[in-house]
Amino acid sequence: MYKVGIIGLGQIAYHIDKTKITSICDINYDLVEEIKKDCDISKGYINYEKMLEENNFDIISICPPIQTHFDIIKKCIETGVKAIFCEKTISYSLEEANQIIELRKKNNVVLGVNYILRWDNLNKEIKELIDTGVIGKIYTIVGYGATALHTSTSHLIDLMVYFSNNATPL
């Protein structure tokens, strides 16, 4: 069983199969206490640095606002976290994103960014139809996003990349 910590308890789910969530962190103390009690989680923090320093995590899920991701990911890597699952987007800055990728490579850390729509059954079926040529070749993909680029519209862009086979692995 993997030892897991979660940073940021807002709108993101905090149940992960085959894991034991041992610690959670959020700036909202009352929310931390409520979730600790409701989910039988032993430790709760309002300071992620303290949480990372006091625990030896296998996996950390990073769910707070995007502007915090860079510093949190760096601290996770510094404290020996083996795998990081970060909510989209990884950073507002391409420079920071590249630094994160280099840090994770140098330290052999698994890093995933949540673009969950790739695993939606309908999207997997569409991808299979494209890959097998059943629906012909794709020449153009047009998408319309009605929300901010770094929130839901980023899913649309990711699916366009995914369907067109232009994904670059981290």
Share of the chain above pLDDT 70, in %: 89
Give Cα 114 distance to the centre of its chain.
Answer: 4
> Which pLDDT belongs to residue 74?
96
Q: Which two tokens stand for residue 146?
A: 């009605």
> Which pLDDT belongs to residue 32?
94
Up-side HSE of residue 115: CA atoms within 13 Å toward CB? Answer: 19
In sequence order, what are the beta bridge partners of 4? Answer: 21, 59
Domain 2-114 has CATH 3.40.50.300: no
> Which pLDDT belongs to residue 89?
82
Ramachandran class of 136: left when φ > 0, alpha when ψ lies in -120 to 50, beta otherwise: left
The Cα 170–Cα 164 span in angstroms is 17
> Which pLDDT belongs to residue 166?
66
pLDDT tens by residue, 111-143 = 998 877 887 899 999 999 999 999 888 888 888
